[in-house]
Structures are given as structure tokens and as C-alpha cells.
Chains A and B, each alone.
Chain A
Amino acid sequence: MRAFTTKYQNLVFSLCLKMLRHREDAEDVAQESFLRVFRALDHWDPSRPMKPWLLTIVANRCRTALEKRSKLPSQNDLAIDLESERREHSKHEQQEVDIAEELDLALGELREEYRMCFVLFYQQELSYEEIGEILDRPQGTVKTWLHRARGQIAECLRERGVICEASS
């Protein structure tokens, strides 16, 4: 159990952090995901790779957490406040804003499916086939979602003026 957690904790936590965009929430969901995995280890097929199976459970936990968050108005208000504050910051101090942070902000405005697809592809570096298995969608759908995610993120960054900074 200890070795397993040590091996995959960064992988699980990074996905949770990118999906939830909240460190404490990500820790909680990562812990819950590990507990789920320990209980469901009997259902794992050793002939198949562990990483997609593990990330499937993590993705489901993240979805559940996002659904719960959507039902908490105080959390939404807090998130909106934080985002507006960060937007104001980005307006006035554009030169100092990290582009990765802008990407995180743009990612937060995506649909949940697009965000999950983007994170699994670029952060976890999974293939279309593996993402399709995790999200239970065909590869064509995954490819479409990723394309739309890229387009919306680029548009969002362009609206924030980040594109000019990167081009210059």
C-alpha cells in the first residue's frame, strides 16, 4: 500500500489539482481515490496497464467532486472571486503573469469533459485510445474534445492578451 501510494501519488494528485484547481480539494480527492483503488484492486486485470485504470478512478472521483462543488454556492462564489481577482491582476500586471497560470485559468473555463481530455492528454500524456477508455468515449470524440479544448483555450488566452505577449 505504501509503495503503491508513493509510486502514483504525484500522478494522481497532479490530475486532481488540474481538474479541481484547488490544492486542498485535490489532496482530499487524491486520498479518496487511493482508498477506492485499494478496495477495487480485486477488479483490476493484471494483464492491462495500471495507469489508465487508476486514472479512470481518479477521473470519476474528480467528476463527483466537481458535481458536489457545483451544488455549493459559497464555493462557486469563492472560485469566481478568486478568478476575478486574478483577472484583475492579469490586466494590470500582464508582463509578470505566468503563462501557465493563464492556461490554468483558461482551463477552468472549459467544459468538464474538455478539461479532463486536455489534462489527460497533455499532463498525463495518455494516448487517444487510453483517454477514450478512461472517459468511456470513442477516440473520435476524444480527438474532437481535445481540438475544441485547444481552440477555446487559445481564444481565452487571446482575449486576455496573452497571445500578443507570446507572439512578440
Chain B
Amino acid sequence: MNCKQFQSELERAIDDRQLSDRSAVSSHADSCESCRSAWQDFLLLESALASWTEPVEIDLVERVIAAAIKPVPSPPSGGEGGRRPDEGAPRTSVGKPVSVSTSPSPALRAPSPPRGEGARQTWLTIATVAVVVLGAAFAFRPGLNQTADDDSPLQTPGHIPLEPELNEVDQYAGVDELLASTRSAWDGIASKAVNQASDLSVFMPDLKADLGLPESDSTTIPDEPSPEVSPEKESREKESLIPGRINRAFDFLLDVSEVTTT
């Protein structure tokens, strides 16, 4: 017998619960080191199973019949219906709920509420909340207590003005501060615009005319280069025009800001 035959013989012995050719298997195990451990395991389990499978005697007849004829107990008093009277105090073990009320099969479980019932209750809750919210909004809406012939602003008892009341001098002081801050903001915007849109300065005279601003010397457009000027000189002149245009645009925007603030 080789190792393969030994393995198949051992598997057959397990399936059939009996070993037909014990002597051959045993002799191979004695001579083969690799199969010896499997053979020892087989012998050990075989000897253990011989005593392990001894029949167990129990008498459950009276207990089962008593539990079968007993009505199903309610959950608070359940759990002791099937126990024998001589078993003493109840245990907190897994088998304590002996009665038929524990972990019923799907067919014996109590019917669960239909799916439509839960959805109906959900929608009912949503509708109730919506009615409450709408009612609260209607009760506390602005102008509810204001009559038709009352021209004064809403002065409900709980009304709190958003701004504190100011006297006349304080109001003018606020306007001056507002104008000053607007002027500074506008100056900042204008300076950024000049830096970013210097090429648009060619349109400044027309804009000034449209806005009715006086023409200044710095706003005059220099003469265009004559056709006979060389290209290098023309490019240098063009570059020299850029700072002048920027200055003119800056002046224009300052003028516009003065007109706007005044």
C-alpha cells in the first residue's frame, strides 16, 4: 500500500464509519513517517467516539405533555410553563424560556403591521407639524396688530428697533462719515482701474465731454508720429506715451469721483 491508497482507504473508513483493511493501513502507517500522524489521529478519534456515542437516557414525556396542553402564557409570566415542578428556582440560562412563546418560527410570529399603516402615520405626523408651523407663522406675522388707519411704523410691545434712534446732528455726522468712506473706497477702485485699463485712456476726452468735465492740458492727446519716423523711434515714442495716458486716466477718474461725491 502506498500513501495514496492509504489516504483513500482512510477517507473511505471515515465515510463508512468502519475500516475494512485495518492491518494493511496500520502496516503502512508504521513504515511511513508522513502517514503516521494521520493514522494516530484516526485511532484517537475512533476510540473517543466509541465511548462518546453512548446512548443517553432521559424521560421527557410528562414534561413535554404538560407543556403541550398548557395554554400559551403571557410574556410577563412566561418562561416557566414547561418546567418540571421539582426543578426549583428559575435559571437565567438559555433554555429558561421553555414555553412556546419564545423565538417563534416565522409562521407563528405575530402579524406585523402592514406597510401602509406606517406610511399613513408618517404622513399624519408631517401634516400635523405643518399645520402647527403655519398656525404659528400666521399668529406671529408682522403687522397683525396694525390697523388700517395707523400710519406709524409697527410698534408692537415686543418691537425692538434695529438701529438706535439718533438726533439731527448725529444723523448729519453719519452722512459725512458715509461720504468720506465712500470717497476713499472709490479712490481705491479708481486706482486699481487705472492700473488695469490704461489702454482705455484714449477715450477719456470723450467721456469727459459727456460728463461735462473741463478739458485740462494733461488730457490733450499728443500728435501721432509722422509716417517718415523709423520703427525703432516709433516704438520708443509709443512706450513713452503709456505713462502719460495712465496719468490722464488717473486724473479723469479723480475728477469723476469728485463729481460723484459732490
A→B interface (CB under 8 Å): 1-2, 5-6, 9-10, 12-14, 17, 20, 22, 24-32, 34-36, 38-40, 64-66, 68-69, 72, 74-75, 98-100, 102-104, 122-123, 125, 128, 146-147, 150-151, 153-154, 157-158, 162-163, 166-167
Contact = CB atoms under 8 A, between A and B. Distances in A.
B63 interface: yes
A122 B68 contact: no
A30 B14 contact: no
A99 B92 CA distance: 30
Contacts of A1: 64-65, 68
B105 A36 contact: yes
A70 to B, nearest CB: 9
A12 B59 CA distance: 11
B73 to A, nearest CB: 13
Contacts of B41: 150-151, 154, 158, 163
B40 A24 contact: no
B62 to A, nearest CB: 9
Given A24-B95, A157-B44, A103 B49 contact: yes
Nearest to A106: B48
Given A39-B108, A125-B17, A9 B58 contact: yes
B192 interface: no
B136 interface: no
B57 interface: yes
Interface stretch (B96-104, B138-146, B231-239): B96-104
Interface residue tally on B, bucketed by range: 35 or more
A146 B93 CA distance: 29
Contacts of B93: 22, 24-25, 28, 69, 72, 75
Contact of A103 (B48, B59, B95): B48
Interface in B92-123: 92-96, 98, 100, 102-103, 105, 108
A27 B58 contact: yes
A166 B60 contact: no
A153 B58 contact: no
Nearest to A103: B48
Contacts of A38: 68
Interface of B is mostly: loop
Contact of B44 (A20, A34, A167): A167
A122 B47 contact: no
Nearest to A74: B92
B55 interface: yes
A64 B103 contact: yes
B47 A10 contact: no
Which 10 pairs between the two chains have the least Cβ-Cβ distance? A28-B95, A25-B95, A154-B41, A69-B94, A100-B51, A100-B52, A103-B48, A13-B58, A166-B44, A14-B56
B55 A154 contact: no
A28 B64 contact: no
B67 interface: yes
24 contacts: A5-B60, A9-B60, A9-B64, A13-B58, A13-B60, A22-B95, A25-B95, A28-B94, A28-B95, A30-B58, A31-B60, A34-B68, A36-B105, A69-B94, A72-B94, A99-B47, A100-B48, A100-B52, A103-B48, A122-B17, A146-B14, A150-B14, A163-B44, A166-B44
B61 interface: yes
A33 B43 CA distance: 35
Given A20-B95, A28-B94, A150-B45, 7 more contacts: A1-B64, A31-B60, A35-B67, A36-B105, A66-B94, A100-B48, A166-B43
Contacts of A24: 87, 91, 93, 95
B52 A34 contact: no
Contacts of B56: 10, 13-14, 17
Contacts of B59: 9
B48 A32 contact: no
B147 interface: no
B95 A65 contact: yes
